[in-house]
Amino acid sequence: MTTKKATHQLTRQHNRDLVLRTIFSHDSISRAEVARVTHLTRTTVSDVVNGLLSEGLVEEVGRGESIGGKSPILLSIVADSRYLIGLNLAQDKFTGAVVNLRGEIKEIVEIPVHDDNGEKALKLVYQILDQLTRKKLKPIVGIGVGTPGLVNTREGIVVNAVNLEWQDLPLSQLLEKKYKLPVWVLNDSQAAAIGEYVYGGEHVPDKNLIVVNVIHGIGAGILINGRLFQGDGGGAGEIGHVVVQENGELCRCGKRGCLETVASARAVVQQMKMASLEEVFLAFQDGNSKAKAVVENAGHYLGASLANLIGTLNIQKIVLTGDMTRFGQEWLSAVNTSMQTGAFFRMTEDTKLEIGKLDYRACILGASAFLLLDDYSLLFNEEN
């Protein structure tokens, strides 16, 4: 309700978020520069900064260069003033980490996953969180979970995660009850997208960004104006099941010739008839010609799908993350070539394709950072 009082509070909250994000996205910054960037008045910035200083979220870290007059005091986020927990429920192992506000991993726990699904998989999640919350890092302000499958983030429900055999699992509710912390659940590829955006150097407000996560499966996270776009049902970015080969291999989704059946890490392992991606990677490094061909073919089909994504969304920055990025430049250039040929020149000429900077951390950091991005007030327990 936008009563006068509420409007005033909303403005305060909005200003606080704006200032905090601005300080967050710089190593250090002066009050004057914050005012310039945010278009807020100097007075408003000072008031907000005083609040952040007293909460211990921000600190003064010395003086910057003078631009005529007194050299300004610089502000910086206190990286270890709060901690977040991020989880990545990947195919072969679950990983959890405690990270600070700068996305630095302070503690990490990994548990291999075999045929653990349903109730068993949930117990592994508890096991990781038990271990992480027992550590001495405090205060922890929330838990973010990146999981494969279709997720209803607002309600914290895993609608459908085939591998884990989770259907309509109220994961947020279960974890909130057990750990007394705010919990966000989101799709792993969407989490990876947030991770690259916030901690991978892409953190530009109003920016559009697509992050394509190529692991056991393939999914994308789409940021529009710096916000994760999840679609009406939470499933935006499910590009792994776009059909790229008529009458191709049978996919686990029941259709044939999905992108996942030719371009995912699993597809590559299957085509090489090997036991793991590690094995394929070693063969690839040794110059095994079949491995090269299989990886190039995988890149080719991924690129064709990216061309379609570009046609649909015309977003000019695409970042690739996940296991397949291990194949580096050779794979990337196969992807790029096919992406360029598959789309209009006028639409690809300004499109930049690159490999993400966070490696395996993307999903973990994204899951935790989602707490920051989406709702500061929730994260920092301010009045709502």
| 274 vs 294: CA distance, rounded Å | 12
Instruction: Please report, as residue ranges, which positions from 224 to 253 form the binding site for a second copy (by CB under 8 A).
Output: 224, 229-239, 241-243, 245-246, 253
Kindly give the interhelix angle for 289-313 and 277-285, rounded to the nearest 10 degrees: 110
12, 135, 252, 255: which one binds a second copy (CB under 8 A): 255
As beta bridge partners, residue 354 has 319
Q: Would you list the DSSP string of 304-352?
A: HHHHHHHHHH--SEEEEESGGGGGHHHHHHHHHHHHHHHS-HHHHTT-E
Kindly give the interhelix angle for 119-134 and 171-179, rounded to the nearest 10 degrees: 40
Nearer to a second copy, 126 or 344 (CB): 344
Interface with a second copy by CB under 8 A: which range of 84-92, 111-119, 286-294, 336-344?
336-344
Instruction: Please report, as residue ranges, which positions from 35 to 54 form the binding site for a second copy (by CB under 8 A).
Output: 39-41
Cβ atoms 141, 380 nearer than 8 A: yes
Nearer to a second copy, 283 or 320 (CB): 320
Extract the runs of DSSP E, i.e. beta strands, from the chain.
29-30, 58-63, 73-77, 83-89, 93-100, 105-112, 140-147, 150-152, 157-161, 166-169, 183-187, 209-214, 218-224, 227-229, 317-321, 352-355
Q: How far is the CB of 208 from a second copy (least distance, A)?
A: 6
Q: How many residues bind a second copy (CB under 8 A)?
A: 50
274 binds a second copy (CB under 8 A): no
Q: How far is the CB of 116 from a second copy (least distance, A)?
A: 23
150 binds a second copy (CB under 8 A): yes
Nearer to a second copy, 76 or 340 (CB): 340
| 88 vs 111: CA distance, rounded Å | 11
287, 350, 383, 384: which one binds a second copy (CB under 8 A): 350
Q: Is 110 exposed, middle or buried (0-12, 13-18, 19+ CB in 10 A)?
A: middle
Q: How far is the CB of 312 from a second copy (least distance, A)?
A: 6
Q: How far is the CB of 314 from a second copy (least distance, A)?
A: 3
One character per residue 56-85, x = contact with a second copy (rule: CB under 8 A): ------------------------------
In one-letter notation, the amino acid at residue 258 is: C
373 phi and psi, to 5 degrees?
Answer: -70, -45
9, 81, 91, 314: which one binds a second copy (CB under 8 A): 314
32 binds a second copy (CB under 8 A): no
Residues within the interface to a second copy (CB under 8 A): 1-4, 39-41, 150, 159-160, 208, 220, 222, 224, 229-239, 241-243, 245-246, 253, 255, 304, 307-309, 311-317, 341-344, 346-347, 350
